[in-house]
Amino acid sequence: MGLESALGEGYLTTKLDALVGWARKNSLWPMPMGLSCCAIELMSAGDPRHDISRYGMEVMRFSPRQSDVMIVAGTVTYKMAHVVRKIYDQMAEPRWVIAMGACASSGGMFRSYSVVQGIDQFLPVDVFTAGCPPRPENLFNALIELQKKVEKSSVLDYRDRKEPIIIS
Amino acid sequence: MSEHTKTADDFFDTPLPTTNLPPKEQRSQLLQALLDMDPDISFDDPLENDMVLNMGPSHPATHGVLRILLRLDGETIVSAMPELGYLHRGYEKIAENETYHEFITHTDRLDYLQPLHNNVAYILAVEKLLGIEAPVRAQYIRTMLSELARISSHLVGFGVMAMDVGAMTLLLWCFREREKIHDIFDLVVGARFTTSFTRIGGIAQDITDEGLAAIRAFIDQFPERQQEGERLLNRNRIFFDRCRNTGVISAEDALAIGLTGPNLRGSGVAMDLRRDNPYMIYDQLDFDVITETEGDSLARYYVRLAEMKESVKIIYQCLDKLPQGAVHAREPKKVLPRKERIYTRMEELIHDFMIVNFGVNPPEGEVYHAVESAKGQLGFHIVSRGEGHPWRLKIRSPSFCNLQALPQMLKGHLLSDILAVLGSLDPVMGEADK
């Protein structure tokens, strides 16, 4: 690069988006919103065999203020939906959401009076994961897909973002 | 204080102005009452020194979505009240709209630490309603796999308890062992986690020699691995200090509240449905009912440890005694036919069509059947009106009943003791909230 050779040793020119995207995607701290069965598979994802830390995502933070991606693992009931939304609101921008499993994605097998039919009714979801519950490998797939998305996003995407809040 | 400053007391102590008042005999009753009233108003804080603290429903140590409202005096718990229902999925209502076969998949998600045990508990109730019994080989396989499920549940039970009081390593070791059990389920059942293995009158498929070898290989090495884990905790001063004499409950109280399972046996009551009311083949097996007398968190931990050893014993006996034979009862109108026969034979095709579309239609009546799951007495009460789906299905879930002991167990303890007590109770909210 012409500019780099002009600046000399120790300089690198790149796009800000590329640099920030690279940094963000490799330091996603998950907030495990473990609600039911999927939470056990989420714990399995952290066990010695599957080892979530291979993806730089092992730092599970139970405080929303320290985390970047919320993994909603399990059935969200109407009673719990307010809590999930409140915790999402407490997370700092930029933030992402993974809907883990059929229940979080669409209500799953629970077509019942008390179960929210998909968390996209009250949260902006980035990645949906299939399975009841998904195997840990499938969760990793979701994390890698999210990393791709984070990498591609622009720094300005998260500035002045107006999130759609759909209340059914 | 200077003369000019007036405090709130000065105003409240001032009696009502008596000028322009009608004479005493002309006053109304209300006015007289107001005049006679004591003007002192006290501002007592209704909570005094106490503080109300809300723990959960999203808390790393509440084992799911349990919310506990605590009333604290400093750091001491004055009273505690668990609030449930954050995972209420309406199972009992769902069951009324599904055939008996369809509901098997829902039982997986009840107590999601041991799905296979729930399958067995439910199917035994349905079989009792239908008046049929699975062949002996199927019962042996059910017993064997549900004991494996018990081990996997206890592994999470005491692994998470250890993590809550600060021993993170043990949780990872427990999950390492659990993965091995999941591998066996993957091989034998076809799914690693949500098994849905039982069918009315039998099981989904027969167990292969490869599966039996895998089970034997697991239980051969498991006691040693368990001892490895025990060595981490059983001489650990921090663990002992936090668990000894916390959450004590006497045998009388435990029975009165309705505790079952390891929590009851930790208080010294030797109640175990596997021995007291044997189902499947438990009456032919040799195992001990483990009890501890202290009734504290540590006692419940010891009971779980010892029960895993008993489970290994049971699995060894099942492996040795496992008979040959069919795994499906010969009841063509109740038991789903084999897939390969459906495509080639007319009778089987008709039965499959009728069972899948209209259900098994048990006779009118109601049954209750309970099994000893890893958490306690798990029972299904089914009311049938002769249709393909239950008219009413009530689940007696052990976690729900066990949680009722929480207020009594926590009273007078420190805030941090909640983790040790809750961990030793080992509730699963999917089951407690149903």
pLDDT tens per residue across span B261-319: 899 999 989 888 988 888 889 999 998 898 988 888 899 999 999 999 999 999 999 99
Output the CATH code of domain B90-433: 1.10.645.10
Among B318, B128, B353, smallest CA distance to B207 is for B318
pLDDT tens per residue across span B64-74: 788 889 888 88
Suggest the residue from B66, B107, B112 to mutate for an interface test with chain A (most A CBs closer than 10 A). B112
pLDDT tens for each residue of chain A, 168 residues long: 577 778 878 888 888 888 888 888 888 888 888 888 888 888 888 888 888 888 777 788 888 888 888 999 989 999 888 888 888 888 887 888 999 989 888 988 888 899 999 888 888 888 888 888 898 888 888 888 888 888 888 777 766 555 544 333
ipTM for the whole complex: 0.82
Phi-psi region of B381 (alpha: psi -120 to 50; beta: other; left: phi over 0): beta
Q: Where are the domains of chain B?
A: 90-433
- Asked if B37 contacts B13 with a C-beta cutoff of 8 angstroms, the reply is no
Task: Give residue B42's pLDDT band: very low, low, confident or very high (50, 70, 90).
Answer: low
CB contact under 8 A, A79 and B88: yes
Chain A residues lying within 8 Å of B112, measured CB to CB? 36-37, 40
Picking from B57, B89, B193, the nearest residue to A114 by CB comes out as B89
Q: Does B178 touch chain A (CB under 8 A)?
A: yes
Cα B271 from Cα B281, distance rounded (Å) = 18
Task: Give residue B368's pLDDT band: very low, low, confident or very high (50, 70, 90).
Answer: very high
pLDDT tens per residue across span B238-247: 888 888 888 8
- Look at residue B22 and give its three-state secondary structure: coil
The DSSP output letter for B293 is: S
Chain A residues lying within 8 Å of B55, measured CB to CB? none
CB contact under 8 A, A79 and B86: yes
Q: Where are the domains of chain A?
A: 30-150
Task: Give the contacts of B60 (CB within 8 A, at least 6 positions apart).
Answer: A62
Q: Does A134 touch chain B (CB under 8 A)?
A: no
Amino acid at B190: G
| A34: nearest CA partner in chain B | B64
Q: Between A and B, how many residue pairs show a Cβ–Cβ distance under 8 A?
A: 87
Output the CATH code of domain A30-150: 3.40.50.12280
Q: What are phi and psi of A42, to 5 degrees?
A: -65, -40
More confident residue, B87 or B61: B87
- Whether the predicted pLDDT of B139 surpasses 80: yes
Distance from CA of B186 to the nearest CA of A (A): 11
Cα B16 from Cα B215, distance rounded (Å) = 87
- Whether the predicted pLDDT of B10 surpasses 70: no
A164-to-A40, A122, A125, A139, A167 alpha-carbon distances in Å:
31, 9, 11, 25, 10
Cα B176 from Cα B22, distance rounded (Å) = 88
Range in B25-39, B101-115, B344-358, B370-384 the model is least confident about? B25-39
Amino acid at B223: P
Helices and strands of chain B, counted as H and E runs? 19, 8
Task: Give residue B337's pLDDT band: very low, low, confident or very high (50, 70, 90).
Answer: confident
| B183: nearest CA partner in chain A | A49
SS (H, E, C) B190-209: CCCCCCCCEECCEECCCCCH
DSSP codes, B127-181: HHHHT----HHHHHHHHHHHHHHHHHHHHHHHHHHHHHTT-HHHHHHHHHHHHHH
pLDDT value at position B147? 92
Chain B 128-167, residues with CB within 8 Å of chain A CB atoms? 156
The mean per-residue pLDDT over the stretch B25-36 comes to 79
The Cβ-side half-sphere exposure at A19, using a 13 Å CA radius, reads 5
Tokens of A119: 């968390």
pLDDT tens per residue across span B209-219: 999 999 999 99
Q: Does A78 touch chain B (CB under 8 A)?
A: no
